A = this chain, B = another copy of it.
Amino acid sequence: MASTRRPRRPGEADRPPNGTSAGRPTSRDVARQASVSQATVSLVLGGKWQGRVSPRTAETVRTAARELGYRPNLAARSLRLGRTRTALLVVPALTHDYFARVHAGASHVAEEHDFGVVLYPSPAGTGPAVDPFGSARAALDGVIASSMAADALAALGEGGLPLVMLDTDPDSDRAAATVNLDIADGMRQAAGHLLGLGHRRLAHLAAAVDTWTFRERARALTDTVAEIPEASVRTEASALDIEDALRAATRALTACPRPTALVCDDDLLAAGACKAARRLGLRVPEDVSVTGFDDLSLATALEPELTTVRLPAEEVGAAGMRALLATLEGRAADAPVLPVRLVRRGSTAAPSATDAPGS
């Protein structure tokens, strides 16, 4: 009779009538098994039993937990704690090596702090993320966003969660913290390297993506070239894929006079550029030098290997996670600007005599 009045507990039908639960064991089951209270179980397993629970009891609890194969229910813990120890990492694409490495760096730091990272590859690339909070079905403590366009961040700002931005306009004020790369310096190094080699007619294979990081690359290149009067740079825009890069590079290399060096916004574009050169019967680096950016694994898969700007992707991810952790703890996060480094490989050389200035 009484049972007809009592609301049925969810999953009740799945449970046997006796006291032992059939499903996943709960802390209650552990408590019963160890003949202690649930609170004691929580204390012991939470590692805060020192001076509150006798070592003997603690050991009993741990044994019981092990025997039952107990795993705490994270949903319940999150609900109780109001925090989930989970961060969302929003990236434009996963197929791009760089972001995979950012993720690795962030995960590593997260793990050290018993945090989790869930990835949200924004379906719209660098564009507005549709609904990261709904789709990433996890309950979140904070968000880290990498290389996103400004309007994409607007959507992220709506979440009401602490936001750390990576490789994004440092003047934006949406974020609680930022981690940046010295993109401009990287481009200066690349351009300086080519100019130093004697190149004067450069072409810029520019990524047709409207984000801070690419605007920065364009600006730095223009500025660096402008310092040498005889030097010039033309720009060809390309989508961030090999095929389009091939087309853009072909346009650049069939211009008259032909540039002696191609400065590419990304290793992917550089790969397209090498392909284009080869198809036009030009040798890299003898006839045309090519530089990339990012130092993806692709850079050393090519022959010759790419001279490119190495970005410390893992470090970026790690610093991002550290900044988020700091923010979450109410500490001020520093806003590092990480240095980048030109890696000289086989795809660049001095221009050949016939192409040299003055000829």
Given contacts A104-B121, A303-B274, are A73 and B79 in contact (CB under 8 A)?
yes
A302 close to B302 (CB less than 8 A): yes
Given A79-B79, A94-B94, A300-B242, A86 contacting B275 (CB threshold 8 A): no
The reply to whether A301 and B76 contact each other, CB–CB distance below 8 Å, is: no
Contact across chains for B84 and A95 when beta carbons are under 8 A apart: no
Would B94 and A100 count as touching, CB distance under 8 A?
Answer: yes
- How many identical chains are in the complex? 2
Q: What is the chain B residue whose CB lies nearest that of A76?
A: B79
Partner of A119, one of B78, B79, B119, B135: B119
Q: How large is the interface on A (under 10, 10 to 19, 20 to 34, 35 or more residues)?
A: 35 or more
By a CB distance below 8 angstroms, the chain B residues around A114 are 137
Q: A107 near B: Cβ within 8 Å?
A: yes
Given contacts A80-B10, A103-B94, A121-B104, contact A242 B137 (CB under 8 A): no
Question: A137, B115: Cβ atoms under 8 Å?
Answer: yes
Q: Which residues of B contact A182 (CB under 8 A)?
A: none
A4 to B4: give the CA distance in the assembly, Å: 37
Closest to A272 in B: B301
- A303 proximity list for chain B (CB < 8 A): 274-275, 278-279
Report chain B residues within 8 Å CB of A301.
242, 268, 271-272, 275, 298, 301-302
Residues of B within 8 A of A302 (CB): 271, 275, 301-302
Can you list, as one digit per residue, whether each of A334-348 has a CB less than 8 Å from chain B (1) or not (0)?
000000000000000
Q: A299 — nearest CB in chain B belongs to which residue? A: B242
- Does A85 interact with chain B (Cβ within 8 Å)? yes
A112-148 CB contact bits vs B (8 Å, 1 = yes)? 0011101101000000000001011111000000000
Least CB distance, A243 to chain B, in whole angstroms: 7
Taking the closest CB of chain B, its distance from the CB of A9, in whole angstroms, is 10
Q: Is A74 an interface residue (CB 8 A)?
A: yes
Measured between beta carbons, the chain B residues less than 8 angstroms from A66 are: none
For the complex formed, measure the closest distance between the CB of A170 and the CB atoms of chain B, giving whole angstroms. 27
Q: A297 in the interface, Cβ–Cβ < 8 Å?
A: yes
**Distance of A162 from chain B, by nearest CB (Å):** 13
Name which of A94, A268, A278 has the most chain B CB atoms within 10 A of its CB: A94
